[in-house]
Amino acid sequence: MKTAPFTIKSGGGASWAIRLVVAAALAGLALWIPTSASNGLIDSCITALTLMACAMALNLLLGYTGQISIGHSAFFGIGAYTTGVLVAKYGWSPFQTFAVAFVIAFVVGALVSLPALRIKGVYLALVTLALGLVFPQIIKWPKLEWLTGGARGLDKTGFRFTKDNPTYEIFGWNPWGTLRGENVKPFHYWIAMVIVIIVYLACRGVVKSRAGRSLVAIRDNETAAAVMGVNLAGTKALVFGLSAALCSLPGCLSAIRTGNVTPDSTNLTVAGSITFLIVMVVGGAGSLWGPIVGSVLYVFVTEITGDWSNTDSIPGILRPLFGWSNTPPGTGIFAVLLIVLMFVAPFGIVGMYRRLQARVVTVVPKPAGTGTIAAPAAAPVEA
């Protein structure tokens, strides 16, 4: 077997140097975007961060536990409507609604996980699909129209933070001042960035813990996991609830960002759930970085092709392929990319990167039990 020309020890000097360089580059890019980028680019980044958080939450459930969900748009909608209702109807500060949305989505997710104790695979997918289909209809239910606004949704005039004197008070404390015009988009960007960091740290904390090993065991073989003492019911309920709760946070952001909530919004329908799923799979399911890469690529492709409905906007070499379409082909291009990746890189872009990296650099993991172990006491010498 051919070995890679370079070798790096995990946790060694070279490994930490690479990590620091990557971290510094990402931090610099994160600071540059809200301070120097155009409003259009900031908007695109907020969209990417929103998809990023949703895909990471779904990845915790599907990528690591193997539970299929096509209904995460409902949890996104719970976050959006929790913020919308509490702000528009009861005058809450937007930031105070995040915790409420988190708790509500966690409870609903844990309840939805109950069928997962007896069914799995395509049958579980159908249950979650039903949730995604039913949620917009519940919002439109006439008996709840007094709360949700029905099919019209919650109009932006009901949101205190979109009026002439917007405020993001936290229990009466407003450190942000008045937010208007151009300084609103960077503020939304930082909210999105904080949400992504929280979701990433939560997912990483679970995956790297003992619970994370239980998730992988359940994904690979439920029977073997149960024999090893894994609590299947409790673990599934916890992960489903946590995944749902984390997905509600970007939903709260969407209400803050747009200033209105309607049941027909893309991310609140099954189309949103499928987008979260595609982003996760293209980036790499079962990888912490997969949803990050997938969301950036998705927004990059859809933004570039956004004006391709006009034939003159399509590059000449690609015009024969896409000139016939009257709609932007970004989603179709991404779907084709997904099909190609399933053949070329079934573990997504991150999986393909790791496979190529292994041909160049061999990462030697830390040996098990590298901690300091006290030497056994010497046996007494008999006289």
- The 10s digit of each residue's pLDDT in 273-286 is 999 998 999 999 88
CB half-sphere exposure, 236, CA atoms < 13 A: 23
pLDDT of 375 over the 60 cut: no
- The pLDDT of residue 172: 62
**pLDDT-derived band at 165, boundaries 50, 70, 90:** very low
Domain residue spans of the chain: 37-364
**pLDDT-derived band at 257, boundaries 50, 70, 90:** confident
- The pLDDT of residue 57: 95
**pLDDT-derived band at 373, boundaries 50, 70, 90:** very low
- The 10s digit of each residue's pLDDT in 72-87 is 999 999 999 999 898 8
**pLDDT-derived band at 307, boundaries 50, 70, 90:** low
- The pLDDT of residue 134: 93
Tell me the percentage of the chain whose pLDDT exceeds 70.
80
- The pLDDT of residue 326: 66
Say which residue, 66 or 2, is predicted with more confidence. Answer: 66
Question: Residues 253-281: what's their mean pLDDT?
Answer: 89
pLDDT of 22 over the 70 cut: yes
**pLDDT-derived band at 174, boundaries 50, 70, 90:** low
**Over the chain, what HEC string results?**
CCCCCEEEECCCHHHHHHHHHHHHHHHHHHHHHHHHCCHHHHHHHHHHHHHHHHHHHHHHHHHHHCCCCCCHHHHHHHHHHHHHHHHHHHCCCHHHHHHHHHHHHHHHHHHHCHHHHCCCCHHHHHHHHHHHHHHHHHHHCHHHHHHHCHHHCECHHHCHHHCCCCCCCECCECCCCCCCHHHHHHHHHHHHHHHHHHHHHHHHHHHCCHHHHHHHHHHHCHHHHHHCCCCHHHHHHHHHHHHHHHHHHHHHHHHHHHCCECCCCHHHCHHHHHHHHHHHHHHCCCCCCHHHHHHHHHHHHHHHCCCCCCHHHCCHHHHHHHCCCCCCCHHHHHHHHHHHHHHHCCCHHHHHHHHHHHHHEEEECCCCCCCCCCCCCCCCCCC
**pLDDT-derived band at 383, boundaries 50, 70, 90:** very low
pTM here is 0.86
- The pLDDT of residue 200: 95
Please give the CATH number for the structural domain made up of 37-364.
1.10.3470
What does the alpha-carbon distance between residue 60 and residue 216 come to, in Å, rounded to a whole number?
Answer: 10
- The 10s digit of each residue's pLDDT in 48-74 is 999 999 999 999 999 888 888 899 999
- The 10s digit of each residue's pLDDT in 315-329 is 666 666 666 666 666
**pLDDT-derived band at 352, boundaries 50, 70, 90:** confident
pLDDT of 299 over the 80 cut: yes
For residue 277, which of 125, 79, 127, 136 has the smallest C-alpha distance?
125
- The 10s digit of each residue's pLDDT in 95-128 is 889 999 999 999 999 998 887 777 777 788 888 8
Question: Residues 249-254: what's their mean pLDDT?
Answer: 94
Structure tokens at 200: 């990433």
Question: Residues 230-236: what's their mean pLDDT?
Answer: 83
pLDDT of 214 over the 90 cut: no
Average model confidence (pLDDT) for the chain?
82
- The pLDDT of residue 308: 66
Say which residue, 377 or 289, is predicted with more confidence. Answer: 289
- The pLDDT of residue 351: 87
- The 10s digit of each residue's pLDDT in 330-344 is 677 777 777 888 788
pLDDT of 374 over the 50 cut: no
